[in-house]
Chain A
């Protein structure tokens, strides 16, 4: 990696030079805001009112079927959710699915990224096929899994001993859900890790090989550290998405037999029970949980987060 000379300390500059510098700083600032403005405007315009409204709703007792009984209840919706065994059960299921699927996907994604990067045979075919699961419409893929695991009609279910209906057994169903998740979203990891792999300079690897480092040592000591930003982005977004898992569970089991995630819980309370207060409170709690997870990630990965440590360059 080429190194960048640290910026000169402006301590010895004259007043005129300092004025020119602050001119430049202000220009840089303006340019920075200008570049960010369109993205910010779009995001703010779309998301601020709905998010604000959802937070506002979570403080109300609001059942759509009894609109005239709506009233402010402060944090009691949160109290009701957090003291409910149903919430904690869903939370546990969600965490299990998230941890297991992300861990497997990271390893699998890394292996596939390396395969994509290094394979000398059939590159186009392998690359296209690895990325393909992510491109299949999620609900279609989920239906195909559900059909495959339904006894009688599905080839996978028919491989199991007669009488087993894996989709109605809690832990078997969770296993199937995790499998469907991994199959569907490993390409996401693979793609980001592959792009991260391209940032690892070959000269470093060559030099290390000349020095006698094995493939494994090259991987651990050179590739992984240099891929940290890519791994962070991949892990972060994948974990956030895994925590909010919905489509696969909805189609495979609808959350029945104790396989519901927190998002399914939110959906059930919002759309089925029409309880806007509780449903919004669940959504805000999901947001808080996800924010905590991402904070842990960013702190754990430290300076690899984008936008930080600019001064090092």
Chain B
């Protein structure tokens, strides 16, 4: 992979250099994105630069690996009105704050229509703020329930059932843990959000001005607390993030896992024995008759407000996330695409046997609270629900409500 893309890299680099030197040559668009070692992004960049017909050349600039580091770098430069950024890869939770601060440009007219065509509605939700579209969904991700069919012939439909199944397995002395992300980080907020949405509620009200935590949130906290106190809880629950969950499942101590699809190819390589019994199902429901609404993740592409070539940037973005490039990113990079028709594409289904379930999950997915204060809200939630064993549902509910009120008012300190 690295060997193939090296000459391509060189060519792109030379092209960028020469165009910059030429002065009247193609405009240089700086694309700032997470570091992608699969080569998919670089390939897309080269294809789109070539396909622009000399109008622009895209240069792929890498941001740090961790999401917080990426946000820091982007915010620092946007706040400084840095014109060396044109195309930005934003996590789905950053659109509200960057749009509110006036750092990214809205999409209107034909470009907006092109951006919305065939795109997952939930992802479009993440890219919308104050009724305007600010970014174009690039890739997405969401969780499924992974279980061992040798231990559990039929996957549980609800959380309560899953915990009961695990307790039963524990009584029989079989592997029985439920792997879920319980560390004090964004993953805990995602879990809470999924539960609240699956219970039919939402964390904030429709206008994102106040918390709307009521019975659904209470139910969510009760589930989390029940799991944490049951034998189904992994002893390391309070430190676990997605990768630790994956390792525990591959190690054979767990019966259930709530995680992203990256665990599937990993299990195939790491534990082929177990892989034979490794199955998936939709995220468990909270109530038997209400479909679950798991939290959506992913990346949206936006145009910097300080870019010298906003229109060209928009064209480039539409190319970077067009059908062939999305299939490339999905197959090479392992991240689900945002164009709905791709989910019935044979090439995609070959690489993603669970494509149909992912699509169902994505269509009914929930978004995290949309507010410029999202980081504050997320910290309030993750600090309240982690470690999960310390949750006292009614007290924790009060803690979260108070914390969110302060966060939305910009009051007080962030721990």
A-side residues, CB < 8 A to B, are 63-67, 80-81, 84, 86-87, 90, 150-153, 162-165, 167-168, 254-257, 260, 265, 268-269, 271-275, 278, 282
Contacts and interface: CB of A to CB of B under 8 A. Distances in A.
Nearest to A67: B101
Contacts of A86: 412-415
Nearest to B99: A65
Given A64-B101, A152-B247, A165 B413 contact: no
A284 to B, nearest CB: 14
A65 B97 contact: yes
Given A67-B102, A165-B235, A273-B376, A80 B72 contact: no
B100 A65 contact: yes
B412 A168 contact: no
B235 A274 contact: no
Contacts of B239: 150-151, 165, 167-168
B196 to A, nearest CB: 22
Contacts of B383: 256
Contacts of A268: 379, 414-415
Interface size class of B (residues with CB under 8 A): 20 to 34
Given A65-B100, A273-B414, 20 more contacts: A63-B410, A65-B97, A66-B100, A66-B101, A67-B101, A84-B413, A90-B415, A150-B239, A151-B239, A152-B236, A162-B235, A168-B386, A257-B184, A257-B386, A257-B387, A265-B414, A271-B75, A273-B376, A275-B410, A278-B413
A150 B243 CA distance: 12
A138 B387 CA distance: 28
A66 B413 contact: no
A135 to B, nearest CB: 24
Given A80-B412, A272-B379, A65 B101 contact: yes
A152 to B, nearest CB: 6
16 contacts: A64-B79, A65-B372, A67-B102, A81-B413, A87-B413, A150-B236, A150-B244, A152-B236, A168-B387, A268-B414, A269-B414, A271-B75, A273-B375, A273-B376, A273-B379, A274-B97
B55 to A, nearest CB: 33
A229 to B, nearest CB: 40
A271 B376 CA distance: 11
B378 to A, nearest CB: 9
A80 B409 CA distance: 14
B101 A255 contact: no
Contacts of A278: 413
B183 interface: yes
Contacts of B264: none
Contacts of B238: 165, 168, 257
B415 A265 contact: yes
- Of all A-B residue pairs in the complex, the 3 with the closest CB atoms, nearest first, are A163-B235, A256-B184, A168-B238
Contacts of A64: 75, 79, 101
Contacts of A168: 183-184, 238-239, 386-387
Contacts of B101: 64-67
Interface in B377-415: 379, 383, 386-387, 410, 412-415
A203 to B, nearest CB: 57
